[in-house]
């Protein structure tokens, strides 16, 4: 594994902050699955054994993703940089840690330093793209964020996170055709991971390819990957394509009974709203 291949693994862990489907009345977050995070951690662990120089700081970033102690991670990386000034991987991890700690200005500062040495660094580009989305006061912010995600995805053949951000942003901006293309490429890179399959299914629905969307959503639902969200979109399929609101509600009620949604109040709220909407129209 090359040093550049290592970079994409870090940022996958921060995805839940930026992926939305704004086609609905309120923003619906698409949460990263536990399996995807564990896969990233395993790959990071393998990489860290190949790069003994970075083992401690990578290990500490991994630990911070579970215990939230980003200030500790920042301290460890700063000590490393004291011994290895301007090391680009360390600075990209520092930018990432600052972002996760909420210090967005410092995250932006170190991301730009990283890009001065490596203009295609996917961690730095992804961070800058997400921070643009966070402020997103004008349409140009979305366009610039898309440019960052596109550059990271296109110029790094192993990159996944930037592609997910790019594809879901393309959906949010109403470009389902571009999103479909990005999700198809993502599916090759991440071995048809659940979050890419979900996005591809949503793209198919927007492009009026309902059967392809249905097949993907049913596969996700049966595998229990993103079960609640895939059930929600299957319920939309039943309501809007099959015009069967009773079946739509049965899917939603089953999702409420079988899923642990206490940590996902947004999708739980969305499911209940769709049940109420269906019931009023029956």
Enumerate the β-bridge partners of residue 20. Answer: 29
Each residue's pLDDT tens digit, 261-274: 555 677 888 899 99
Question: Is the confidence at residue 1, as pLDDT, over 70?
Answer: no
- Number of other CB atoms surrounding residue 255 within 10 Å: 23
CA–CA dist 86, 2 (Å, integer): 19
CA-CA distances (angstroms) from residue 258 to 186, 207, 220, 277? 29, 30, 14, 21
Instruction: Give me the mean pLDDT over the 60-80 stretch.
Output: 89
pLDDT band at residue 63 using 50, 70 and 90 as cut-offs: confident
Number of DSSP helices (H) and strands (E) in the chain, helices first? 15, 2
Question: Is the confidence at residue 47, as pLDDT, over 60?
Answer: no
User: Which of 32-41, 64-73, 103-112, 273-282 shows the lowest mean pLDDT across its residues?
Assistant: 32-41
- Confidence at residue 23, expressed as pLDDT on a 0 to 100 scale: 35
CB 214 within 8 A of CB 226: no
- Of the candidates 210, 215, 206, 158, the one whose C-alpha atom is nearest the C-alpha of residue 181 is 206
Instruction: Give me the mean pLDDT over the 13-39 stretch.
Output: 35
Q: Which residue has the tokens 């309120």?
A: 26
Question: Is the confidence at residue 28, as pLDDT, over 50?
Answer: no
Give me 193's structure tokens: 């991971």
- Confidence at residue 263, expressed as pLDDT on a 0 to 100 scale: 57
pLDDT band at residue 225 using 50, 70 and 90 as cut-offs: confident
Question: Is the confidence at residue 172, as pLDDT, over 90?
Answer: no
Please state the φ and ψ torsions of residue 235, each to the nearest 5 degrees.
-65, -40
Question: Is the confidence at residue 167, as pLDDT, over 60?
Answer: yes
CA–CA dist 37, 61 (Å, integer): 13
- Confidence at residue 264, expressed as pLDDT on a 0 to 100 scale: 63
Instruction: Give me the mean pLDDT over the 255-262 stretch.
Output: 68
CB 166 within 8 A of CB 147: no
- Confidence at residue 268, expressed as pLDDT on a 0 to 100 scale: 85
Each residue's pLDDT tens digit, 87-138: 988 998 899 889 889 999 999 999 999 999 999 988 889 889 988 888 777 7
Instruction: Give me the mean pLDDT over the 169-177 stretch.
Output: 92
Q: 33 vs 263, which has greater pLDDT?
A: 263
Q: Which residue has the tokens 């596969």?
A: 219
Question: Is the confidence at residue 277, as pLDDT, over 50?
Answer: yes
User: Which of 26-30, 145-149, 271-275 shows the lowest mean pLDDT across its residues?
Assistant: 26-30
- Confidence at residue 267, expressed as pLDDT on a 0 to 100 scale: 82
Question: Is the confidence at residue 160, as pLDDT, over 60?
Answer: yes
Question: Is the confidence at residue 9, as pLDDT, over 50?
Answer: no
CB 167 within 8 A of CB 131: no
- Of the candidates 7, 218, 40, the one whose C-alpha atom is nearest the C-alpha of residue 126 is 7
Proportion of the chain in helix, strand, coil states, percent, rounded to 5: 75, 0, 20
Ranked by mean pLDDT, which of 12-26, 30-44, 55-69, 203-217 comes out on top? 203-217
């Amino acid at each position: 594994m090359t040093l550049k291949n290592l970079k994409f693994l870090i940022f996958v862990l921060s995805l839940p902050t930026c992926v939305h489907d704004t086609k609905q009345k309120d923003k619906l977050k698409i949460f990263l699955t536990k399996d995807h995070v564990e896969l990233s951690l395993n790959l990071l662990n393998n990489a860290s054994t190949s790069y003994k120089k970075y083992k401690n700081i990578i290990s500490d970033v991994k630990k911070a993703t579970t215990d939230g102690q980003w200030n500790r991670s920042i301290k460890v990386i700063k000590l490393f940089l004291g011994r290895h000034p301007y090391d680009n991987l360390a600075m990209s991890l520092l930018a990432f840690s600052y972002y996760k700690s909420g210090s967005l200005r410092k995250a932006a500062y170190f991301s730009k330093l990283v890009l001065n040495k490596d203009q295609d660094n996917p961690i730095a580009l992804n961070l800058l793209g997400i921070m643009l989305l966070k402020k997103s006061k004008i349409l140009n912010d979305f366009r610039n964020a898309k440019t960052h995600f596109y550059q990271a995805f296109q110029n790094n053949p192993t990159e996944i996170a930037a592609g997910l951000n790019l594809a879901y942003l393309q959906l949010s901006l109403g470009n389902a055709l571009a999103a479909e293309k990005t999700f198809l490429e993502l599916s090759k890179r991440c071995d048809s991971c659940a979050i890419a399959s979900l996005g591809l299914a949503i793209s198919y629905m927007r492009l009026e390819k309902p059967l392809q969307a249905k097949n993907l959503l049913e596969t996700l639902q049966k595998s229990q990957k993103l079960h609640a969200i895939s059930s929600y979109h299957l319920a939309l399929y039943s309501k809007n394509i099959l015009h069967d609101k009773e079946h739509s509600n049965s899917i939603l009620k089953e999702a409420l009974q079988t899923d642990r949604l206490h940590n996902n109040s947004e999708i739980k709220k969305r499911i209940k709203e769709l049940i109420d909407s269906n019931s009023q129209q029956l």
